Amino acid sequence: MDSAAKKFYNPRLPYHNFNHALKVKDYVLKLVRRCKKYKIPVNREVVKLAALFHDAGYDQVKTKKEEFACKIAERELKKLGYQPKIIAEVQKTIMATKLGGPLKTTEQKILRAADLSGFMASYPKFVKNNKKIQQEYKLLYKKDYFPNKKWVKLLEAYLKPKIKLTPKYKTDNFHAKARKNIKKFLLKNKK
């Protein structure tokens, strides 16, 4: 399955490459196990497929990247014999990665949390991911610089909805970890 998605990721992209999709898939599977522990129903196959295809074709369009990824997922999953109902669920789940996207299903919440996990990691990883985003911005949009404040504002917008997966969501600290990284980053990079 990984190979079906891999061909739609540009390896030259510093951040939104296939390694990112694999990291998101791994984090998705970790969150699926956590949900299962608390007997929270989740379709493992749907969220795993959505993780693999969520940024497919990222460098091929300037806007509506999630919608484009949904089209790629639909086409490729049809070729692999997936049922229309599963494909539709994968597409709905991918749309959770869009700013303001739906966070109604467990699968959508899992994918959004997993997609943002690189910014909720240790501060050094947060900084490394930020640098990759900066490099990618230059490559894709031919602009020298993505202002830190603009980047942080965008990241905070993605973090605005609380992701409550399990009864222990407060100890998961997704949002607190990311906000701590953002605060530290802004203090060190006053631009």
150-175: pLDDT as tens digits: 888 888 888 888 788 887 765 567 77
Please state the rounded mean pLDDT for residues 141-156: 81
Q: What angle do CA 115, 71, 17 make, to 5 degrees?
A: 40
Distance between CA 27 and CA 51 in Å, rounded?
Answer: 9
CATH fold for the domain made of 2-188:
Catalytic domain of cyclic nucleotide phosphodiesterase 4b2b (1.10.1300)
Each as own residue / partner, the long-range contacts of residues 18-25 (CB below 8 Å, 24 or more positions apart, any chain) are 20/55, 20/118, 21/51, 21/52, 21/53, 21/54, 21/55, 21/56, 23/117, 23/118, 24/51, 24/54, 24/111, 24/114, 24/115, 24/117, 25/51, 25/52, 25/114
Averaged pLDDT of the chain: 91
State yes or no: pLDDT of 142 exceeds 90. Answer: no
Structure tokens given for 161: 């909805």
State yes or no: pLDDT of 36 exceeds 90. Answer: yes
pLDDT tier, 41 (very low <50, low <70, confident <90, very high otherwise): very high
Give the pLDDT of residue 165: 83
Q: Are 138 and 132 in contact (CB under 8 A)?
A: no
Please state the rounded mean pLDDT for residues 86-99: 97
Q: What angle do CA 103, 109, 112 make, to 5 degrees?
A: 100
Residues 6+ apart with CB under 8 A from 74: 87, 91
| Other Cβ atoms within 10 Å of 146 Cβ, number | 17
Distance between CA 158 and CA 99 in Å, rounded?
Answer: 6
Structure tokens given for 159: 């973090």
The residue written with tokens 């608390």 in the block is 38
Please state the rounded mean pLDDT for residues 41-65: 97
Q: Model pTM?
A: 0.93
Give the pLDDT of residue 11: 97
For residue 96, give the nearest of 69, 74, 122 by alpha carbon: 69
| Other Cβ atoms within 10 Å of 32 Cβ, number | 22
Give the pLDDT of residue 171: 58
